[in-house]
Amino acid sequence: MSRSGVNKADVQAARLSIIARGEHPSIDAIRIELGNTGSKSTIHRLMRELDGPTNVPSPAPIDDELNSLVARLAQRLKAQAQEQLDEALARLDAEKKAMQDELNSVERRLADLIERHAAQTTKLGTQTATLLATQKALQTEQKENARLTQAAHDSAARLQDKDDQIQALKDQHLQAHTQCALLQERLQNALSESEKIQSRLTERDQQNRVLELILIKTEVALENSRAGRPDGQETPQT
């Protein structure tokens, strides 16, 4: 923020500071050196007065101005150094706090890891005991499985023998059924043939009876003829 009240001493100190840096002391450069203080016309007027022949400073005032300039520069350097120091201290404090926070976080994580490691160690011991028990049980189960597998193989072999026997019985039954069917067919044929023979015998019996009747009648006729019956009467049939 600009301020008023710029005097010759201020302009002279700013110009000497600019010259000391090896720069040209223009009006704009002096105004910037003064912190953008004072108007350009005022700075120009004061520079002309400083450059005029009646205002040539004597050695003593120059020493005073140099002393004032050095004091101001020293003050500014001290202020800048203090500001930089404060900033550095603030950064260090912030970094220290961040590092302390990180250290606290690391310590908390370390404590958590130690606790977890202890829990994992306990859990591992339990799991190891469980694993040993499981391995022992597994060995027992494997032995039992081997025994059951052998028993299953034996049962399968016996079952296969039974299946073979059943198949043999089925084959025998099928063969017997086939033979029975053939016998049944032969029996049917025999019965049919017997019926035919019986029918022929019945027919022959009837024929024999007819022949017997004819023979009887013939014999009766012959007897009648021998008896000499003139009337020709037949003997009654009994």
pLDDT digits (tens, 9 = 90+) for 10-22: 889 988 989 888 8
Mean pLDDT rounded to a whole number for the chain: 82
Count of other CB atoms within 10 angstroms of residue 148: 12
- Higher-pLDDT residue of 113, 70: 113
- The CB-side HSE value for 177 (13 A sphere, CA atoms) comes to 6
What Å distances lie between residue 28 and 8, 68, 104, 144, CA to CA?
Answer: 16, 22, 54, 105
- The pLDDT assigned to 99 comes to 92
pLDDT at 219 over 70: yes
Backbone angles phi, psi at 178, to 5 degrees: -65, -45
Average pLDDT on 122-145 reads: 89
- Do 49 and 8 touch, CB atoms closer than 8 A? yes
Average pLDDT on 129-135 reads: 89
Average pLDDT on 170-199 reads: 85
pLDDT at 58 over 50: no
80: its two tokens: 């800048």
How far apart, in whole angstroms, are the C-alpha atoms of residue 1 and residue 174?
126
Residue 64: pLDDT band (50, 70, 90) is low
Instruction: Give the start-to-end residue ranges of the domains of the chain.
Output: 8-89
pLDDT at 24 over 50: yes
pLDDT at 35 over 80: yes
Highest mean pLDDT among 102-106, 152-156, 173-177: 102-106
203: its two tokens: 């027919």
Contacts of 33 (CB under 8 A, 6+ apart): 14, 15, 17, 18
pLDDT at 98 over 50: yes
Of the candidates 57, 55, 17, the one whose C-alpha atom is nearest the C-alpha of residue 34 is 17
- The pLDDT assigned to 49 comes to 86
pLDDT at 91 over 70: yes
How far apart, in whole angstroms, are the C-alpha atoms of residue 213 and residue 205?
12
What Å distances lie between residue 201 and 195, 197, 212, 215, CA to CA?
Answer: 10, 6, 16, 20
Residue 82: pLDDT band (50, 70, 90) is confident
Contacts of 68 (CB under 8 A, 6+ apart): 9, 13
Of the candidates 233, 213, 209, 212, the one whose C-alpha atom is nearest the C-alpha of residue 223 is 233
Instruction: Report the predicted TM-score, pTM, of the whole model to 2 decimal places.
Output: 0.28
- Higher-pLDDT residue of 62, 21: 21
How far apart, in whole angstroms, are the C-alpha atoms of residue 106 and residue 233?
161
pLDDT at 73 over 70: yes
How far apart, in whole angstroms, are the C-alpha atoms of residue 46 and residue 60?
20
- The pLDDT assigned to 111 comes to 92
